[in-house]
Amino acid sequence: MPVISPAQAGGLNRCAFLDALASSEIGEALLAVTDNGYNVLVGATPSNPITFSSYAKHPGILNAALNSTAAGRYQLLFRWWSAYSVLLRLPDFSPLSQDLIALQQIRERRALPLIDSGQFSQAIAACSNLWASLPGAGYGQHTNSLDSLKAAYILNGGTVA
């Protein structure tokens, strides 16, 4: 589960959606061997869990092989951390801050009402350009199936209409 509570997030469906995103971006095996994905750097695998040690700020570490600075449970790029930390007045890159940023990104895609009403597939479609692992992302990277994401969502307490 994310560290944000359902009350803080706006409901259990939102927390379940965050879990589905983390499952998609990080994978269950890597979530299990890290701090629930909150300290993961892009390029990490379960057999090679590349992590960062401080939540004081986004680590901003470039993985040259992947040309990416993605970090955390939702694989946020450093350039977006700079903007969201100011917008949301976040003190750090802690797990709660990462959850709040992901929810803000979902809000900006107008997907929160879809999540709240159990329209999971539509919410994934609305957010697909934000996370490369989502079906329809179009980044040329591995994507996960809608069925596997929906299973993770339901497993974590999400309801579908």
| Residue in 19, 25, 58, 100 annotated catalytic | 25
Of the chain, the percentage scoring pLDDT greater than 90 comes to 91
pLDDT of residue 141: 77
User: What residue has token string 């709240």?
Assistant: 116
Residues whose CB is less than 8 angstroms from the CB of residue 105 and which lie 6 or more positions away in sequence, other chains included: 74, 84, 127, 130
Whether residue 57 has pLDDT greater than 80: yes
Q: What confidence tens digit (pLDDT) does each residue in 99-141 have? A: 999 999 999 999 999 999 999 999 999 999 999 899 887 777 7
Whether residue 151 has pLDDT greater than 90: yes
Whether residue 84 has pLDDT greater than 90: yes
pLDDT of residue 116: 98
Other beta carbons within 10 angstroms of residue 138's beta carbon come to 11
Whether residue 154 has pLDDT greater than 80: yes
Whether residue 97 has pLDDT greater than 90: yes
Cα distances from 108 to residues 67, 103, 150, in angstroms, run 25, 9, 21
pLDDT of residue 132: 86
CATH level 3 topology of 6-155 = Lysozyme (1.10.530)
pLDDT bucket at 72, cuts 50 / 70 / 90? very high
Question: Is position 25 annotated as part of the catalytic site?
Answer: yes
